[in-house]
Amino acid sequence: MPPGFETRRYDLDAGLLVGALADIDVLIHAAFIQANASNEDASARNIRGTLALYESTVAAGSRFIFISTLSAGPAASSAYGQHKYVIENALVAKDALVIRPGLVVGDGGLIRSLYSTIRRGVVPLIDGGLQAVQVVGTDDLAAAIECAVQGELRGCHNVCAAEPVTTSHVARTLAKHFGIKPLYVYVPWPFAYLLATIAERLRIALPLTTENLLGMRSVEYAAPSPALAQLGWKARTWSELLPQLAFR
């Protein structure tokens, strides 16, 4: 953990312990209860817990930052995007700060899962991998948050590279970067979704979940935040981020 940062446990259902926000200048909230068969009330719990944390943070005199997603929107197919959108609207109405990152590129998350899939030798490309994504490096995301705090920004801000890339391009260039020649397999979206649904019911982990697949279908192009650009922030493109990837 970098100097000046620390993690503290927060239960979206139970709320905060007394004094949990002591000596905190900025709180970054990224916790989320995933919607599934065992969490049918996930939406209400996410909204209730996040707004309670926001109110506690403001009462403590600290800044509150909510980490959302570019897939959040009124037409979002995934429960993740739907829940994030509802929370965004509630927080913006309270003049809070919302950061909406694109596909985060770093040693973790979906990029790490894709790398692991590539190493296994067979890469499924959903609908041929034609889905467009906008990326943001972990360092660029951190820099955007720092700029937003120092610039005292409010409202929603898209944090991503302006240039979209296809998931097929990401997979193929990632494989080439690491000197791997996997087999690429075309997988129709309905079949991929059915397979992911069955795997989740059987509690089998796959690189892509049903939520990931639904998210692919509702992501639209998002212009990077003009306010952040005015503060000197700019996200690196996929081609600029790729050479720096070296998974441990």
pLDDT tens-digit profile of 191-243?
989 998 898 888 887 777 888 888 777 777 899 999 999 999 999 999 999 99
- CA angle 53/56/57 to nearest 5° reads 85
What tokens does 197 get?
């649904």
Examine the pLDDT at 65 and tell me if it is beyond 60.
yes
Are 68 and 98 within 8 A, CB to CB? Answer: yes
Q: Which helix H or strand E contains 183, and what residues bound it? A: strand 183-187
In a domain, 12, yes or no: no
Helix H or strand E encompassing 113: helix 109-120
**HSE (side-chain half, CA atoms, 13 Å) at 110:** 18
At position 73, the amino acid (one-letter code) is G
Residue 11 lies in a domain: no
CA distances from 247 to 138, 178, 186, 217 (A): 14, 10, 26, 28
Angle subtended at Cα 204 by Cα 200 and Cα 208, rounded to the nearest 5 degrees: 65
Residue 37, pLDDT above cutoff 60: no
pLDDT exceeds 70 at position 166: yes
- CB half-sphere exposure, 46, CA atoms < 13 A: 27
What CATH number has the domain bearing residue 230?
3.40.50.720
Q: Containing domain of residue 157, as a range?
A: 26-243
Model confidence pLDDT, tens digit, residues 116-141:
999 999 999 999 999 999 999 999 99
In a domain, 10, yes or no: no
Spell 99-133 as b/e; 16+ CB within 10 A means b: bbbbbbbbeeebbbbbbebbeeeebbbbbebebeb
* 7 assigned to some structural domain: no
Instruction: Please choose, from the candidates 139, 132, 12, 4, the residue with its C-alpha nearest in 3D space to the C-alpha of residue 66.
Output: 12
For 65, 70, 117, 159, 247, the CA distances from 151, given in Å and listed in that order, are 13, 22, 40, 15, 33
Residue 91's pLDDT is: 93
Question: Residue 86: helix, strand or coil by DSSP?
Answer: helix
Residue 1: pLDDT band with limits 50, 70, 90: low
Please provide the size of the chain in residues. Answer: 248
Do the beta carbons of residue 164 and residue 103 sit within 8 Å?
A: no
* Number of domains composing the chain: 1
- Asked whether residue 39 is assigned to any structural domain, the reply reads yes
Structure tokens at 147: 């700029």
Q: Is residue 21 part of a domain?
A: no
Question: 146-160: per-residue pLDDT in tens?
Answer: 999 999 999 999 999
